[in-house]
Amino acid sequence: MPENTQKIIESLSPNERKIIPYLGEGDIENIDEKTELGKTAILRALEFLSNKELVKIQQKSRKEIELGINGLIYIKKGLPERRLINLIAEKSSISMKEAKKLSELNDNEFKAAIGVLKKKALINLINSNIILQGKKDEITKKSLEELFLESLPKNLKDLQVEEKYAFDNLNSRKNLIDVQDKKIIEFNLTDLGKEVIKADLSKTENMIESLSSSMIKSGSWKGKKFRTYDIKSPVPKISGGKKHFVNQATDYAKKIWLEMGFKEMTGNSIQSGFWNFDALFTPQDHPVREMQDTFFIKDKQAKLPDKRIIEGVKKAHEGKIKGSKGWQEDWKEQDAKKVVLRTHTTCLSAQTLKKIAENKEFPAKYFALGKCFRNETVDWSHGFEFNQTEGIVVDENANFRQLLGYLREFFRKMGYEKIRIRPGYFPYTEPSLEIDAFHPIKKKWVELGGAGMFRPEVTIPFFGKHIPVLAWGPGFDRIIMEFFKINDLREMYKNDINKLRETKVWDK
């Protein structure tokens, strides 16, 4: 035997040695039956043999017809039309109502069965009665559709004329059959492979595969031969477990705020209109409070806070706070009791202001990072759910320049050296600003979120006087798009396992 062939034989793994005797049959199913290794292990062994040039592997694709969910059920129970015609054949004539009850078919199955049987002229409908028309041999004989289901799986390309007719009929019905793209692996022995398959492999069975500590202690490895390993052969890629990339970035952002001296504030995703809108001086006739912008929880009413806060918010809306005109309308407590999925995490800031006032915690710095929900038209930059990072600084000496400093520092640590800050408008902040970042793919500035200083109409109901409060709430998902090279927000939550494996780890 040539020296090269002997070296190859000595490098064969246990699984390669197991399948070699059956390679000449060229059938993975047969190899699996003989070795009981499983298809995955066999394919891996074939790949290794291909690297050693013992086999040539070819991959082909074909469309294979398989049973769908309903097809699997009907194989056991019978097609709806079979169950119905058997019932009708017993009685010759039966009312539609009785037939539906006795056949135990649901509405869709019953309608489909009636349609099929009428098309085949096996029944007729007269005055809401089903009349048998077909002959006995026509009824008892299996239909083309039944025969086709029993013959699956089949290659779509190989269908005969009658099978194609049955396929078209079944494919138009829900979940009876399923067409799958199948990858077919074929292999052929090379000349070298034919030489190896004839060799006596029994001498390699006692070769040492690995060296254990017990073997070293006992010395049992001495005088034995080690299997040769090919360290250049490609091996299957192993994807280790890791957090979802959004959670990685979320943890990092929380760390930034904590390092900057902020405490975390949390709260429920379901909020009252009072905390989501009214406490933030959003007028009760504002478009954002309509169903086209906000998700409302049907037939639910929220419990409002103590009367002092409610009265303060009411005065702010009606223009009864010194220096404010309010919204020039009567404030309705009923609207404030509506229950919504929070449209921003700023509702948590409002609730935290109440706690700060009660505990007389001055100065105070809080942040939040969590899900928000809006009834948006979904596109590359909008989603009906998204993450937002929120922050407030409550301090009688706080000023607008400090607000800009907090924002620039946070975005710098998130990887943005340059951001655009421009004037903005929000009902509850004045002055207000918008934060933008340039999107290199879309070639446009993308809004990341807003910020500002809470108006007196927001702070006075809680503190009894105006205290400066810096506030911000950028959209967090948009912030991390650039790092993960995501050009469409919808890609963030598709949960494509291959993309999740390939997505780089947040390493800021």
d(C-alpha 412, C-alpha 259), whole Å: 14
What pLDDT sits at residue 59?
A: 84
Q: What is the pLDDT of residues 462-477, one digit of tens each?
A: 999 999 999 999 999 9
- 58-62, 324-328, 337-341: the lowest-pLDDT one: 58-62
What pLDDT sits at residue 85?
A: 92
Q: How many CB atoms lie within 10 A of CB 456?
A: 19
Whether the per-residue pLDDT at 2 is higher than 70: the answer is no
Q: What is the pLDDT of residues 331-361, one digit of tens each?
A: 999 999 999 999 999 999 999 999 999 999 9
Q: What is the mean pLDDT of the chain?
A: 89
Domains of the chain: 3-54+190-218 (no CATH), 67-178 (1.10.10.10), 247-502 (3.30.930.10)
Using alpha carbons, list the distances in angstroms from residue 19 to 37, 192, 201, 278.
9, 16, 12, 73
Helix 346-359 vs helix 456-463: angle between axes, to the nearest 10 degrees?
40
pLDDT, mean of residues 29-44: 86
What pLDDT sits at residue 203?
A: 65
Whether the per-residue pLDDT at 449 is higher than 80: the answer is yes
Tokens 């031969």 sit on residue: 225
Write down the pTM of the prediction. Answer: 0.61
pLDDT, mean of residues 376-398: 88
Q: Which residue has the higher pLDDT, 210 or 304?
A: 304
pLDDT band at 369 (very low <50, low <70, confident <90, very high): very high
What residues have CB less than 8 Å from 242, skipping those under 6 apart?
248, 505
What pLDDT sits at residue 186?
A: 82
Residue 88, φ and ψ in degrees, nearest 5: -65, -35
SS3 286: coil
pLDDT band at 258 (very low <50, low <70, confident <90, very high): very high
Q: What is the pLDDT of residues 62-106, one digit of tens each?
A: 899 999 999 999 999 999 999 999 999 888 889 988 998 898 898
For the chain, report the end-to-end CA distance as a whole number of angstroms: 58
Residue 152 is encoded by which pair of tokens? 């699956």
d(C-alpha 400, C-alpha 402), whole Å: 5
What pLDDT sits at residue 147?
A: 92
pLDDT band at 148 (very low <50, low <70, confident <90, very high): very high
Would you put residue 127 in left (φ > 0), alpha (ψ -120 to 50) or beta? left
